[in-house]
Structure 1
Amino acid sequence: MSKLGWNYRSIALVLLVLDILAILVFHPAKSQAELPKSDVSTIEIEKNKEPEVVVNQTVDTSIAPVTVKKAPNEIQDRVIPVSQLLQVAPPTKQKAPNNAAGQVTSVSQLSDIKPTDWAFQALQSLVERYGVIAGYTDGTFKGDRSLTRYEFAAGLNAALDRLNELIATSTTDLVKREDLDTIKKLQEQFSPELAQLRGRVDTLEARNAQLEATQFSTTTKLIGRAQIVLGSLLAGNNVFTKRQAPRNPTLQGSTSLRLNTSFNGKDSLSLSLSGGNIESLGQTRAESTLLGTYEGRTADNSSITFARNTITLGGVRYRFLPNPDTQVNIYALSDGASEIGLSGPVNPYFESSSATGANGISRFSRRSLVYNYGDSGPGIAILQRLGKQVQFGIAYSAPNGGNPTPNNGFFSGRYLALAQLIYYSSNRNFRVAATYVNTYSPANTRGLSGTNFGPAVGSNLVNSTVAGTGTVGNLYGLQAFYQVSPKFAINGWISYASHRYLGRGDGNAMDWAVGLAFPDLFSEGALGGVLVGMEPKLTRLSQNVDLGAGAGQADKDTSLHVEAFYQYKIGDNIEVTPGLIWITAPDSDSNNPDSIYAWVRTVFRF
């Protein structure tokens, strides 16, 4: 039997079945059947997923094109999906559309159906006489969608079940013999598909039972991430010794485990465990380090303050929604600005998320200096949606808030107070954020990044303080992102910082960057990125302040940061990201030769 003939007759057969049901019950009947869902894991995901963020925080980098399969000729293009006619969820052979709407009562409610359509009368009969048409949420019927034998078998099975029910209730005298013969032939013709359908349902039920018996937890989801990094310095000197830095390739790795728990479906408790031995090529201001500067610091390096290959608790955060427009985050140990997504929405392709790790190679490519002074520690943050296109967020973090000694603690030690306003376009392809941060560091204290004060990226002077003196910072940032097309996006920022070295004087710092992202570059799911910018540098310093270069001496030259990476996916759980970082005039000194790093990151997710 050709596919053309079978699809053409399918409408007539459905009408015949519905006419028989109408005779049996003397009024328009509605046939509906329910089948088990094909994706049993969806139940677990819905039960254990984190609460949705107040507004969209990231851009979907895998935009799938919409394709419609065309039949060989005009008649076949007009096939009506039985899964829509009888409101039956199709089996696993073909996923049901997730935008199906409820029952329509008039064919005029379907905007894409016209009186001139060849199937108009059939549709009108099914809608107004029998009430068995379910349209889509956009008010369309999509009648040119292909029909599978499995879908027709499911719809026919629903009608037969209703017929058997009516026959069993003493109405057999109302059924004509020829009609029953027709139904019997249909049962025989589609018996293989019905048998396969029952087999698939049995398999899904068995699989569901096995998953329930062996699942990790009914409330907790485990997310694992491991990475292996091959890195090497290709060019550059130590900025202190002025000697050529070693060009020794290294192969290192790290692992992180994240436990996400939901207690009521609207909250999330997140715990992060991590450890590794990855050494950043740009690390700290010290003669003993590779380059002696923070510039080019990679995003994958292990903590400065913890021993290598030691498992540490890197994040404890509880998130809940007191109302649909408000999100509250309480974290005992976390990087407040990135953990709650205050910076991620403005630079999604480079920063990614805290759960999946950074896409960019360097720390600088992820975010501007206004987010980097905070360091890790306890705090609280609140995100509030103001209408559909505006989000306001505030955060307070204390990097040494867990330390009870003098000049530390949650309120008396180092702190960061952040406020941010984000505007989103209606289609979410453009966003702009204005950020203000006030931060204070007591004298002679140090955070997990190894600094007392500063962004922990950029020049040495911008990360320096006066010994024995507390430091206050007021930071201002403007960030923007624009998704030009599904395969091209641009982002940028400019930041300004005012430092006050208490009792001594003032200083100013700046940074800026422009990034280009290319989703699906050369391959679906891949991501290319290029970024050019100026890492934070000290642009001005009071004449009576000496940060190590002499009284009143700020950075004298401009250092540029150029970065490129290409992220290639090997399946859904493995990705390889080679990249290069090029630093001109390291430590904002044109007398220093340029530095070039090569970095290849391989990530495994499980």
Structure 2
Amino acid sequence: MRKLCGKIPFGIAALVNTLLIVNFTQAKATGQTTDSLEIDTSLEQINQYSDDNQSVSPSEKDTDTMDQVTNMSQLRDVTPTDWAYEALRSLVERYGCIAGYPDGTFRGNRALSRYEFAAGVNACLTQIEKLIAASTADFVTKEDLATLQRLIDEFSTELATLRGRVDVLEARTNEIEANQFSTTTKLGGEVITYTGAAFGENASDVNNATIGHRTRIDFNTSFTGKDRLRTRFQITNLRQFDTGATFGGGPDPGLTGETRFTPSSVSQNNDARISQLEYRFPVGDKLRIYLEAGSIDPSYVTDTITPFIDTSTGAISNFGQVNPVYFPLGNRAGIAANYALSKAISLDVGYFGEDAPNGPSNPGRDSGIFNGGYSAFAQLVYSGDRLKVGLLYLNSFSQAFGVDTLAGSNAAKVIDLTDPDGNPVVGNGYGAQVNYRFSPRFELGGWVGYTAARALGNIKGDADVWNYAVTLAFPDLGKKGNLGGIVLGMQPKLTGTSNSALAQAIGLPPGQRSDRDTGYHIEAFYRYQLTENISITPGFFWLTAPNHDDRNPDAVIGVVRTSFVF
């Protein structure tokens, strides 16, 4: 036996290493890294024991459970035409040493390759070594040892190749274990850059072409494999373009929410901050709880239905990404939950506190989750194979931010601009969202949003704000991973107020009780997926009648967005 072990000293070690690697891979199932995926790939190669041009059918890849095969004839893909087949067959039947699959094959529906056969020889060598180590050597006959020696000599090249593959895999495993970021925390992030310019009779005069970015670093920690603690750091210098508008509500009609790129594109002057601090965990099979300690809105915890919601890979404008009713400005900290009423229907709810009127760094007695402003929402979501529908209700009380949704005209924010201490505003927002997938390459959707606002301070009154959009999505346009998109709609518009005092307080010209006209948002973009992690998205959005006043010339915002997601 010393001669056998000297000939192939890796017999037992190779299989032990393989089992260790399998266990390591399974342990990473809750959070695989790129390197662990490479381990899976290498392990798959070893399982195939064949040249690269031999493929495995999907049905065979799904067969994960391995049963012990104790009769060589069960391995029906091994052609019994060579002396080696009969020799290995006898060893298998005597020692039960080959692990095959429940359907009686190694892999696939073909005869065993020499590499696969060599693996069987190695398995029998390992089994016999175990018997000898267990002092049951008398069970192993000299004839069987001689047969095994002949097989080893015949397949020495293939056995050496397998040893090299296992050694490489072991080295990769050791490297990952030595350099992994954390056993419980995954590092992720994204960098998006916007290169853009504004065009139009007035817009071109007040804007320059600009480059901006938003950078995020996420630390996602899981303690049970089902929960997640996310700590997100964000740096941005994105700014909104001036539409060049000179008519309509607000002290500066050109700076509305209509040109905003993302909900978080309020410039931070490249200051780093924690933009999200969230812990979510399941309670049973139907309930998931969210605890929020940073900036938050309903889109973090509920399905917004639209296919363009992702700020790094979706639509290029804030309005084109999602119904603005989801985004009341100023939310910070709270609690939310998803509850599965059935396989297709869920009820999502949440309650969030509002930033202090003087900012989070200078809170007063009228701030906090329960003492100050807040927003609370509930949404019923239906998610079928093709159709998705969401019905949203959101109630808010704001001491400083009105019903600003970071989109639409200045008047649609319903903020008392004449009162430096703020004019408390209650908002009742309603949203209906729908999206239907006609085919893998085309989806049609849209939304309608309505907010009924009521001012409660020195100036009282009611105001109505509407918005709507139609979305057309073209997944995998040109190649897999690409996305084409079109958004047609009306950004939030003040359609009426109950009295002239409120209308003037929120910035409308004297004698005007609503936005004067209706401006439309027309957007088109094409995301080209360069690699799994890098995409480039050229696009534009055209604003007719900026600030919902057709006395203002049209403005067109052209953008090239580059996204790095890892």
* TM tier, smaller: 0.7 to 0.9
Q: Deviations over 1:475-529 (max 9, x none)?
A: 1111122233222222211122211123622222221112122222112222221
**Aligned residues of 2:313 and 2:535 also touching (Cα < 8 A):** no
**Aligned residues of 1:335 and 1:374 also touching (Cα < 8 A):** no
Partner amino acid for 1:214? Answer: N
Displacement of 1:367: 1.1
Q: Counterpart in 1 of 2:410?
A: 460
| CA–CA distance in structure 1, aligned partners of residues 324 and 461 of structure 2 | 21
Displacement of 1:436: 0.6
Q: 2:381 aligns with which of 422, 438, 443?
A: 422
**Aligned residues of 2:207 and 2:242 also touching (Cα < 8 A):** no
Cα pair distance change 1:301/1:286, threshold 3 Å: farther
Displacement of 1:196: 2.2
1:524 aligns with 2:524: no
Displacement of 1:590: 2.1
Structure-to-structure mapping, 1:409-558, within 5 angstroms: 409-425=368-384, 428-442=385-399, 445-446=400-401, 452-466=402-416, 467-468=418-419, 469-502=423-456, 504-544=460-500, 545-546=502-503, 547=506, 548-551=508-511, 553-558=513-518
Displacement of 1:410: 1.4
Structure-to-structure mapping, 1:61-140, within 5 angstroms: 89-90=47-48, 99-100=62-63, 102=65, 134-135=101-102
Cα pair distance change 1:44/1:143, threshold 3 Å: closer
TM-score, normalised by the number of residues in structure 2: 0.76
Q: Counterpart in 1 of 2:86?
A: none
Q: Counterpart in 1 of 2:158?
A: 193
Q: Deviations over 1:383-407 (max 9, x none)?
A: 1112211111101111216564143
**Aligned residues of 1:282 and 1:295 also touching (Cα < 8 A):** no
Cα pair distance change 1:352/1:153, threshold 3 Å: farther
| CA–CA distance in structure 2, aligned partners of residues 154 and 550 of structure 1 | 88
SS state at 1:46 partner? coil
SS state at 2:308 partner? helix
| CA–CA distance in structure 1, aligned partners of residues 150 and 474 of structure 2 | 56
Partner amino acid for 2:544? Answer: T
Q: 1:223 aligns with which of 170, 178, 188?
A: 188
Displacement of 1:144: 4.6
Partner amino acid for 1:487? Answer: R
- Identity across aligned pairs (percent)? 34
Displacement of 1:584: 1.4
Q: Deviations over 1:419-463 (max 9, x none)?
A: 0111122xx432211111111112xx24xxxxx432120122111
Q: Counterpart in 2 of 1:389?
A: 344
Displacement of 1:198: 2.1
| CA–CA distance in structure 1, aligned partners of residues 115 and 427 of structure 2 | 66
**Aligned residues of 2:529 and 2:536 also touching (Cα < 8 A):** yes
Q: 1:408 aligns with which of 331, 356, 367?
A: 367
**Aligned residues of 1:38 and 1:204 also touching (Cα < 8 A):** no
1:595 aligns with 2:551: no
| CA–CA distance in structure 1, aligned partners of residues 262 and 216 of structure 2 | 14
Q: Deviations over 1:347-375 (max 9, x none)?
A: 2x31127xxx3521011111112201153
Cα pair distance change 1:145/1:389, threshold 3 Å: farther
Q: Counterpart in 1 of 2:273?
A: 312
Q: 1:251 aligns with which of 206, 211, 219?
A: 211
| CA–CA distance in structure 1, aligned partners of residues 48 and 16 of structure 2 | 12
Q: 2:225 aligns with which of 241, 265, 268?
A: 265
| CA–CA distance in structure 2, aligned partners of residues 430 and 393 of structure 1 | 18
| CA–CA distance in structure 2, aligned partners of residues 536 and 32 of structure 1 | 64
SS state at 1:352 partner? coil
**Aligned residues of 1:48 and 1:219 also touching (Cα < 8 A):** no
Displacement of 1:162: 3.4
Cα pair distance change 1:315/1:174, threshold 3 Å: closer
Task: State which drifts further: 157-166 or 225-234.
Answer: 157-166
SS state at 2:30 partner? helix
Q: Counterpart in 2 of 1:399?
A: 354
| CA–CA distance in structure 2, aligned partners of residues 102 and 481 of structure 1 | 40
Q: Deviations over 1:518-558 (max 9, x none)?
A: 22211222222111111111222213431323356112322
SS state at 1:364 partner? helix
**Aligned residues of 2:534 and 2:564 also touching (Cα < 8 A):** yes
Displacement of 1:205: 2.0
| CA–CA distance in structure 1, aligned partners of residues 262 and 525 of structure 2 | 13
SS state at 1:496 partner? strand
| CA–CA distance in structure 1, aligned partners of residues 111 and 391 of structure 2 | 49
| CA–CA distance in structure 1, aligned partners of residues 109 and 115 of structure 2 | 17
Partner amino acid for 2:529? Answer: K
Cα pair distance change 1:572/1:41, threshold 3 Å: farther
How many residue pairs get aligned? The number is: 500
Q: Counterpart in 2 of 1:70?
A: none
Partner amino acid for 2:379? Answer: Q
Partner amino acid for 1:388? Answer: K
SS state at 1:351 partner? coil
| CA–CA distance in structure 2, aligned partners of residues 470 and 33 of structure 1 | 67
Q: Deviations over 1:237-295 (max 9, x none)?
A: 36xxxxx6435211232322111112232322111111132222269986668x32211
Q: 1:338 aligns with which of 296, 299, 305?
A: 299
| CA–CA distance in structure 2, aligned partners of residues 472 and 276 of structure 1 | 31
| CA–CA distance in structure 1, aligned partners of residues 476 and 200 of structure 2 | 31
| CA–CA distance in structure 2, aligned partners of residues 418 and 145 of structure 1 | 59
| CA–CA distance in structure 1, aligned partners of residues 355 and 289 of structure 2 | 21
Q: 1:326 aligns with which of 287, 293, 316?
A: 287
| CA–CA distance in structure 1, aligned partners of residues 342 and 263 of structure 2 | 37
| CA–CA distance in structure 2, aligned partners of residues 145 and 477 of structure 1 | 58
| CA–CA distance in structure 2, aligned partners of residues 332 and 162 of structure 1 | 57
SS state at 2:172 partner? helix
